[in-house]
Chain A
């Protein structure tokens, strides 16, 4: 019976939603297969929420080592956890921290490491589904080691409450031998305020059709009305209208929100690669032949300068 460990990421005591999504999926799997779901957290106590999403046990390590993220200390702590508790899978969200930590832990334990998964099945052994070529193709991967570290893409799994025992277990990694070499000196906040792209449930993106940097505010206003993140095509980023951190696509962020609204984006293959796994795609473009309409569920063939502000009004009305 498989025991699934889920890394509960926190920064400043704030937990990442992908952690609860992973717990939900782990619970769905163990409900059928037996086994337990273990929440593992460094630097904060997630017990109350972890139990709500199905954690049978909650392992929490606290102390000075788990203030600001450090890959060497946190990696060693998670590796020690796996060595001691022997989970069958260690799930880590595919966030900036998770992408840093997963390969580190896997290399320490010399076990399989699978990035950015969107599906997990257990039938005596594990099958992990993940996109390659930025979503132009999917693969099923089977780990051959007893433990596999699997990165999970935010929003791949549905959040679902399912009570778990949430039994708190002591976990005291021994990090005395580690003198970290790479050290985070400070964290500088970016533009802030807005929802982060890869975690967002709704993304509104602007392309070259917005015509200039001053008009990106139209995209941001719609995003704000929806509680969404604001994205962009590479054309907009390369023109210097918005920062690269907004770029969606094969050489930008890969997103898979419930709703993706592409405004003035033609739908180049590299852009589609980064957003085609979105559950619902809306295209607003004045060219009826733009390839984006082939990828979209809903389309409006019109000038975005008319439709986007009107849609923003409608959303505000709907939410009001």
Chain B
């Protein structure tokens, strides 16, 4: 069995965005970069399947600059992925989700995978599109936002989170899944495994290597804005909590008109 895990390096969730006024560019130079937290669930699930079965190969696939290799080594190879593929092509700098899905589809079609795992979304762009687009482009079924996975003989059953409950979905393999928190608890890499990860292969490709013309973006970012500023916080001062509660309720009702 062969499993692909498509991952992305993203700015750490602690990242503060430095933007005082609307701008056509966003300064990302100071960002600390880590594996997208949702992708860690995809990596963990693949490794669990590998550990439970025999003859399972797990390939981590990512698109990004050379600097993503550290994250790939530490958070993919050192925790159990067998190899990685990095598509590093400066021409993809302005790629949108559709273009990235086209590139990933080309990579995935060079081999034959039984399962293709993604995180539900990356915490920088927050789009949550690429896994579903790849499934459609490859003509494969997908189940998005899964919190449980059981593999059968050539089939899978997954729990998919929906409002107020879950759907139990079945699909034949090969299939594409997007992984949500709750699916598993991602492990941390051990120091010896981080050292050994350096020995595992990382194939480096460009769009040309894939026989692809750089796919054009279908949507373009024109402007970045800081969030709207908030006024001062109005503190409700009262000796007694009951008075504070009464005054707060009054303000919310009469002033803010939200209750």
Q: Do residues A143 and B218 form an inter-chain contact, with CB atoms below 8 A?
A: yes
- Please give me the residue from chain B that is nearest to A301 by CB atom: B235
Interface CB pairs A-B, < 8 A, 24: A104-B133, A106-B98, A107-B133, A108-B136, A112-B218, A128-B219, A133-B123, A137-B225, A140-B222, A181-B140, A184-B168, A187-B167, A192-B165, A226-B259, A244-B182, A245-B161, A298-B256, A299-B234, A303-B241, A306-B242, A307-B248, A310-B245, A310-B246, A314-B245
A 83-112 binary contact with B (CB < 8 Å = 1; else 0): 000000000000111011011101110111
Q: Do residues B17 and A300 form an inter-chain contact, with CB atoms below 8 A?
A: no
Chain A: minimal CB distance from B135 (Å): 8
Q: Do residues B129 and A299 form an inter-chain contact, with CB atoms below 8 A?
A: no
Contact residue among B16, B172, B245 (Cβ-Cβ distance under 8 Å from A311)? B245
Q: Do residues A103 and B235 form an inter-chain contact, with CB atoms below 8 A?
A: no
Which residues from chain A sit less than 8 Å from chain B, CB to CB? 69, 71-72, 75, 95-97, 99-100, 102-104, 106-108, 110-116, 127-129, 131-145, 148, 180-192, 196, 198-199, 202, 226, 244-245, 247, 250-252, 254, 258-259, 269-270, 273, 276-277, 279-283, 293-303, 306-307, 310-311, 313-315, 318
Q: Do residues A141 and B13 form an inter-chain contact, with CB atoms below 8 A?
A: no
Q: Do residues A192 and B258 form an inter-chain contact, with CB atoms below 8 A?
A: no
Please indicate the chain A residues that have their CB under 8 angstroms from the CB of B66 in the complex: none
Whether, in the assembled complex, B211 has its beta carbon less than 8 Å from a beta carbon of chain A, the answer is no
CA distance A274 to B256 in the complex (A): 21
Q: Do residues A196 and B218 form an inter-chain contact, with CB atoms below 8 A?
A: no
Please indicate the chain A residues that have their CB under 8 angstroms from the CB of B135 in the complex: 104
Q: Do residues A107 and B137 form an inter-chain contact, with CB atoms below 8 A?
A: yes
Which residues from chain B sit less than 8 Å from chain A, CB to CB? 11, 13-17, 19, 26, 37-38, 96-98, 101, 123-130, 132-133, 135-137, 140-145, 147, 157, 160-172, 175, 181-182, 216-227, 230-231, 233-236, 241-242, 244-246, 248-249, 251-253, 256, 258-259
Q: Do residues A136 and B16 form an inter-chain contact, with CB atoms below 8 A?
A: yes
Please indicate the chain B residues that have their CB under 8 angstroms from the CB of A247 in the complex: 181
Chain A: minimal CB distance from B140 (Å): 8
Known: A103-B133, A140-B222, A315-B259. A269 touches B16 (CB 8 A): yes
